[in-house]
Structures are given as C-alpha cells and as structure tokens.
Copies of this chain bind each other. A is one copy, B any other.
Amino acid sequence: MRIKYEEMVGQFVRVLEKYGIHGEDALVSAKLFADASADGVHTHGLQRFPKFIASIKNGSVDVEKRAVPVERIGLIERWDGQKGPGNLNARICMERAVALAKENGFGIVALRNTNHWMRPGNYGLMAVQSDCIGILWTNTTPNMPSWGGKNAVLGNNPLVVAIPYRDCPVVVDVAMSMFSYGKLEKYKREGIQCPVDGGIDEDGNITRDPARILKTHQVLPIGYWKGSGLSLVLDLIAATVSGGLTTNEIGKLDTETSLSQIFMAFDLASIPDRGEVEKQIGDTLLGIEESTPVKEGMKVHYPGQGMKRTREESMKLGVFADDGLWQQVLEM
C-alpha cells in the first residue's frame, strides 16, 4: 500500500510523542524515518520504526538525552551522544560539522556513546542542502569476519559520501559488508541467489547462496580483503578520534549501543571557483550517464539518481508501506 508522506510523518510523530520524544524533535525524527521510506530505503524507514520504539522501551535509547559537545582537540570537536536517539544525535552532529565548515571550509565532529542512526544517507543529504560535501560513518557491533577468518570481529560500518549537484546530488551510502543480513534473508525467502558473491560457505568457499551464508554467518566484505581493511580503519578512526568504543568493545555489551561516529563537511560554497566545480561535477556525471550499458537497453546511473526518482514517486503517489507494518504503527 502507499501512504501519504504527511500522514506517515503524522503517525510517527504521534507515536514518538507517546514514547517521550516531543515537539520539534518528534517532527525531525519522524521525518528522518519517513524520508528513508520515501527514498526507497525501507529497511531504515517504516521497517525500522517499531524496532526503534522497542529500543526506547527496553532502555537502550534514552529519550531525554541529546548529543552535547564535550571537548575540542584542535579543530576536532568531540561530542557525547549520552545514549540519546541515534538519528537526532547524528542530525545535531552533522549540523555542527556543516556550521564548522561554513566557518573554516572544513568541519569535523566525532561523536561517541550514541545509538543506531537509522538511515545514514539522511545526514549526507543535510550536508548537501547546505552546499557541503558530507562524509560520515559509524561503527557497529561485530557482524562480519575479518578476511580469512570465521568469527565476526569487524562491523559493517556504513559510510556515506554525498556531493551537491543541482537537484540530484551524488549519494554513496554503503556498508562495508556486501549484503546485510536482512537482504540475505530476503533472497533466501524469494529462493534466489545473491547477484554477486555474498559470503563464505561451510566448506570455506565463496558463495552466492544466501541460505549457506546465513548458516555460517560469514558475510563478505566489499572487495574481499580490501573492505575488510576498510572496515577496520573506519572503526579505529571513529573510536579513537571520538574517544568512544571500538567495534571490539561494543561487541562485549548486551546490545548494540555506545557507537562511535565521524561527521565531516567540506563547504563547496567557500571554493572560489564554485561555478567551475559545478561544471566538473556535471561533466563527470554525464560521462557515467552516457556510458554504453553492459546489458543492452539498460541505462547507466550515478548513485543518487535512483533515489531521486523513488522520492518523486513517493511524493506523488504516496510512500510505499508494508500493510502489516503500517497497521502495527497505527496500533502503537
């Protein structure tokens, strides 16, 4: 079914208010959830909402708390999320990184002790709205083996880079694992193989079979050994620069909380040759769009174009919503 964006936001606000997030914060949080669904990132929109409410109920998210600045190491601002709502904390820190970028061309905020930020692309889009390049990432609980190993010792550590371009910015929003567990379960349910290598099977071989990967829990990092290394360094930078916990330390907690995150912004508006920059970005994107497709009849897109189309459709026809999930929200 499809729900009008405003109605979805309204229902989310109602529920959030009921669970202790009030006023402007309820509206902001509701929009962050609805935006994810409207942009087609269903796993982190409506689908995630009941889980978020559950994390308030079980006390892992403290609705009273928000990220606050705690110290400055030279240019780096360290903020403490105080275990407040992850999406509101991330929004505060991205806003601050953008404000710093407006002062200094570049801004960086390192956040510790926060919760799951839901859909990371949202904060990249915030940077873009202020004519900034946004770079942000989070660590997570251990959910991926290091290359060559069996045990989950690395996080999938989602990374976002968003670059302003007219009404269709570039948005790269990628976890360091090739597929999420949610995606693997979906493939298994539908009885299909992963489109590309997704994990390691019981015999230690690389496989596209979701059922076998779900058995071993050995998901593949993007680029095999390469993403394994990238995941490691994203975690270590986030934790050491923020003064927060590493994936290794988060894994020792009862639940996924006390995450460490980095928010960077480059202010494109400060660049003297801003017009030339726009042309450079445009020419590059055009080069991608004009590529000869591998599969005849397909069109080659740059990251962010699909999202824009989905968003426009959602705004016109309503946001796609799973009937059962929507009913669940209405009854909350």
Contact = CB atoms under 8 A, between A and B. Distances in A.
Contacts of A300: 146-149
Contacts of A153: 284, 287-288, 291
A148 B233 contact: no
Interface in A265-299: 266-268, 270-273, 277, 280-281, 283-284, 287-288, 291-295, 298
Contacts of A168: none
Contact of A298 (B148, B225, B226): B148
Given A266-B241, A273-B243, A223 B232 contact: no
A105 B75 CA distance: 6
Contact of A174 (B105, B229, B298, B303): B229
B246 A284 contact: yes
A204 B303 contact: no
Contacts of A283: 246, 248-249
A293 B218 CA distance: 12
Contacts of A146: 288, 291, 300, 302
Nearest to A245: B280
Nearest to A276: B243
A154 to B, nearest CB: 8
Nearest to A228: B303
A108 interface: yes
List the 3 shortest-distance A-B pairs measured between CB atoms, nearest first: A222-B223, A74-B105, A149-B291
29 contacts: A74-B106, A74-B267, A75-B104, A75-B105, A76-B266, A145-B294, A146-B288, A149-B293, A149-B294, A149-B300, A150-B291, A163-B236, A170-B236, A172-B232, A174-B229, A196-B197, A196-B206, A200-B294, A218-B294, A222-B222, A222-B227, A229-B303, A232-B303, A240-B266, A240-B277, A240-B280, A243-B272, A246-B284, A248-B283
Interface of A: 71, 73-76, 101, 103-106, 108, 133, 135, 145-151, 153-154, 161, 163, 170, 172, 174, 178, 196-197, 200, 204, 206, 218, 222-230, 232-233, 235-237, 239-241, 243, 246-249, 266-268, 270-273, 277, 280-281, 283-284, 287-288, 291-295, 298, 300-303
